Amino acid sequence: MPKPVVPEEKRRRRRPTKSGTVLSEQLIVDTALRMLGEHGSAGLTARRLGLALDCDPSTLYRYFRGMDDLTLAIGDALIGRALHGWRPTGEWRADLRAVGLRIHAAYVAHPQAAQLTTSRVTGRANELAADEAVLDVLRTAGFPPAETVRIYHAFIDQTLAFAALDAAALVLPRASQRADEDMWRSTYARLPATSHPRIAEAAPLLAARMVTSAYPTALDMLLDSAEACREALRSGWEPADAPPEGAVGNGD
């Protein structure tokens, strides 16, 4: 059974550790992120984290219910880093694009952590702030609630899915990364037009593009679709899955 979390005001140690460190949730999360980068998910244990922080592993349970709770905190911290300093400009498309690129970049900067957290729902402050921001951008742009949620769903899942995909490539051994990248030149580029005419035609373009992330392109395509939907709604179009009139308030 998980241990109860000590209330926030009682969490801080009254005395520093032997090395003079005063523990905090942020310090534990930052140290866990560093350990993930150095050792991968297998290297992140309560025992090793306690050693890194110069404290008894049991002390960590004053801050987190367990290692899974710490994982959620790590994911929430990445979202917080992504949105740090971001402010909406009032240009809904530019704002969503900026948020998406920021979140993707924050996860890819910590690929081992991304593998652990992109599929999780933390319910913590930074995640809630990000969700509120995206939903508000869409509602302020004039999308009704049902379309707002539809676009939000596609936007956030696409962002996290690409972050997970790109993170998985980054944590491969360097030799495997090079082998995958070289495949576009060593195999695809040498296929004859007689057997694979479309690949042969596209080979030079594939070799240049397939070694980069497709997320910015996919994000722009999603925003193009959202823009088309917005213009159609302005013309009186109603989506096929729109709720019956009166079922959902328009929030005005």
Instruction: Give the per-residue pLDDT at 21.
Output: 75
Residue 234 banded pLDDT, cuts 50, 70, 90: confident
> What pLDDT was estimated at residue 18?
62
Q: Of 8-12, 22-26, 78-82, 213-217, give the lowest mean pLDDT range.
A: 8-12
CA distance 53 to 22: 9
- pLDDT value of position 119: 96
Higher pLDDT, 21 or 61: 61
Taken in order of first residue, the domains within the chain and their CATH numbers are 2-6+15-65 (1.10.10.60), 66-234 (1.10.357.10)
**Residue of 60, 63, 70, 76 lying closest to 123 (CA atoms):** 76
- State the pTM of this model: 0.85
Query: pLDDT band for position 74 (50/70/90)?
Result: very high
The percent of residues in the chain predicted with pLDDT above 90, rounded, is: 80
Q: Is the pLDDT of residue 249 over 80?
A: no
What is the full DSSP assignment across 59-115? GGGGT-SSHHHHHHHHHHHHHHHHHTT----S-HHHHHHHHHHHHHHHHHTSHHHHH
Render pLDDT for 100-152 as a digit per residue (tens, 0 to 9).
999 999 999 999 999 999 999 999 999 999 999 999 999 999 999 999 999 99
Output the pLDDT for position 252.
37
Tokens of 225: 């679709």
User: Which amino acid, 154?
Assistant: A
| Helix (H/G/I), strand (E/B), else coil: 5 | coil
Longest Cα–Cα distance of the chain, Å, equals 75
Residue 233's pLDDT is 87
AA letter at 243: P
Q: What are the residues whose beta carbons fall under 8 Å from the beta carbon of 241, sequence distance 6 or more? A: 146, 150
Nearest to 207 by CA among 174, 240, 184: 184
